[in-house]
Structure 1
Amino acid sequence: MDKEKIIELLHRDMQDEHAAVIQYLRHAYAFGEGELAAELEAIAREEMQHFRWLADIVVGLGGKPSMVRGEVVFNGPKIVDMLQADVEAEQRAIDQYLTHIALIDDPEIVEVLRRIVADERAHMGKFEKYAGEQDPSAEVRMEPTITEADRPKAEYLQKDLKHEYTVVLQYLAHAFMTPHCEVEHEMEWQAIEEMRHMGWLAEEMESLGTRAEMVHDPLILPDATAEMLQADIAIEKEVSSEYRRQALSLGASDLADLLERIAGEEDHHVVVFSKLLGEVEEAEKPAQPAVKPASSAGAKPGFTVGSLLGKPQK
């Protein structure tokens, strides 16, 4: 199978892994705090690792990773139905990976896909177990119960969540594509931190009686690492100011404190990205031509093979 076809298959797998991350996180946020939500968040992190492995293979084949998301199923209000949707998502993933394993003739790629299948089977078993442990009548809230007084807060939170989801994807895409190892490492860490912000904001929205929409803005995906970092610095500076403006408008409150905390972490991202940008720009400077030293009439002759052997130099 040629590389282009393999990339096409892996893009489908990436899109479904992306969808799984968001589906499991949405379910976790709806379940609220507790062991079940924590378990779903842990599985979402493993799906994110699969997403990373697939992206690495695509880049290694000369392609660009797909940041498009597949279908997400919420399937409430019954908790057992939501978990059954997760079981079905895992079964679809397993079936698709097995089909792709049969089609792809590269043993190294096949080995990675087999590893992912093993994880998906474990996830499916966990979801089946969790579903069996639930009260069949237990439900999550589906209809908004937000008050008019809290609606401005929810509007802030939805805007902020959209930003966080956008930069998670953007930083991951930059990590996948940059040839600079340190930039790759830092981008992945910052994406993880932004995902943590996503969770905080989504949980705040649930507590207000409304559900988060998992949508994002267009991603900025230049080819040059310096341009990636410049875009990331600009977006972090903008959103940090916005978080502080929102916190000020809310007055003294737990939500204002949360927004101030996130703003402080975004400020740190600016520092990290700015340092990386300086290092990348320095590394990518064109090499200066060597300056040939001026000859001197009184200069001593240098070492030659003849001089080292005791022969007179000409």
Structure 2
Amino acid sequence: MEKQTLIDMLNRDLADEHAAIIRYLVHGYMEGEDTPLGASLISITREEMWHMHWLGMIIGELGGEPNFKPAPYPYDPTSRATMLRSYVEYEEKLIPNYNGEADKVDDPHIRRVLQREAWESAIHARKFQRKLDKLSQEEAAGLPGGESELPKEFLDILQAEVTSRYTEMLQHIRTSWVFQKDEIMGWKIMDQAMEKMKQLAHFAEPIAEDGVSPKFKHRQMDKSQVIGVALKKALENVQADRERHVKM
């Protein structure tokens, strides 16, 4: 397989995993991290983040530009039951996709990663099915999220912070993947991405707990090919955040 063809294929997979992360994370937040279903969904989200990371590292190693536009995630929002059924179907569709891609790849490491993605997608499908089977009739018919109580103006402020943190998190992830040859620097930047993820949760959770779905849409991302330029941009973002928070 030609290198660019391989990069394009992996970027499509990256978009699929990105979509799964957002869907399960939003649902988990709306259920509440202190509930069994919410905690389980967020746990699966973390596993999906590893899937995305494996793919992104390979794309970066191949010299490609990671695609951070999530793919569509088709799901039926009618009830908890219909959502979980949609999740089962989504994960089940990924299994033959990854296995088929693995058969086309010559590189043994990339092949193993794709096979692992297929294997864990099968595990996730079974997990979602078990969660669906355990729902009571009332839980199955219901929907996550509480009643909206926060003022719209405050929700808008929280959502703006979600957008900011989400963009910065993805930016750090992109930098760590693209500049992974810088070794320790790449991992330090990934640590910063994890910090942004924690901050993201601080703003997204109260939105979800108020019965509103947080919107994970990032702003335009910097695609610098020089690490010094990328770090300078990251510093500018931090300074802008600080100034905005001081004004608040």
Please give the TM-score of this superposition, normalised by the length of structure 1: 0.73
Equivalents in 2 of 1:23, 1:245: separation in Å? Answer: 32
Which residue does 1:236 correspond to in 2? 238
Gaps of 5+ in 2: none
Which residue does 1:32 correspond to in 2? 32
Higher helix share: 2
Which residue does 1:205 correspond to in 2? 207
CA deviation map 1:215-243 (0-9, x unaligned): 11111120111111111111111112223
CA contact (8 A) 1:220 1:228 kept: yes
CA contact (8 A) 1:23 1:74 kept: no
SS in 2 for 1:63: coil
Distance change >3 Å, CA 72–CA 199, structure 1 → 2: farther
After superposing the two structures, state which structure 1 stretch, 118-127 or 68-77, moved more: 68-77
**Letter aligned with residue 94 of structure 2:** A
Give me the identity figure in percent: 27
After superposing the two structures, state which structure 1 stretch, 174-183 or 206-215, moved more: 206-215
Per the TM alignment, residue 7 of structure 1 is displaced from its structure 2 partner at its CA by 1.3
Per the TM alignment, residue 145 of structure 1 is displaced from its structure 2 partner at its CA by 4.7
Equivalents in 2 of 1:130, 1:209: separation in Å? Answer: 22
5 Å-filtered alignment, 1:111-190, equals 111-138=112-139, 139-140=142-143, 145-147=147-149, 150-178=151-179, 179-190=181-192
Which residue does 1:52 correspond to in 2? 53
After superposing the two structures, state which structure 1 stretch, 197-206 or 12-21, moved more: 197-206
Equivalents in 1 of 2:155, 2:247: separation in Å? Answer: 15
CA contact (8 A) 1:168 1:192 kept: yes
What is the total number of aligned residue pairs between the two structures? 244
Please give the TM-score of this superposition, normalised by the length of structure 2: 0.91
Per the TM alignment, residue 17 of structure 1 is displaced from its structure 2 partner at its CA by 0.8
CA deviation map 1:242-282 (0-9, x unaligned): 23333xxxxxxxxxxxxxxxxxxxxxxxxxxxxxxxxxxxx
CA deviation map 1:171-196 (0-9, x unaligned): 10000011322221122111112122
Per the TM alignment, residue 77 of structure 1 is displaced from its structure 2 partner at its CA by 4.0
After superposing the two structures, state which structure 1 stretch, 67-76 or 117-126, moved more: 67-76
SS in 1 for 2:225: coil
Which residue does 1:279 correspond to in 2? none
Select the structure with the greater relative contact order (CA < 8 A; seq sep ≥ 6): 2
Equivalents in 1 of 2:74, 2:242: separation in Å? Answer: 32
Gaps of 5+ in 1: 247-314
**Letter aligned with residue 240 of structure 2:** E
Q: Which has the larger radius of gyration?
A: 1
CA contact (8 A) 2:30 2:209 kept: no
**Letter aligned with residue 32 of structure 1:** G
CA contact (8 A) 1:77 1:141 kept: no
CA contact (8 A) 2:98 2:114 kept: yes
Which residue does 1:195 correspond to in 2? 197
SS in 2 for 1:109: helix
Per the TM alignment, residue 59 of structure 1 is displaced from its structure 2 partner at its CA by 2.4
Equivalents in 2 of 1:90, 1:182: separation in Å? Answer: 34
Which residue does 1:18 correspond to in 2? 18
Per the TM alignment, residue 22 of structure 1 is displaced from its structure 2 partner at its CA by 0.7
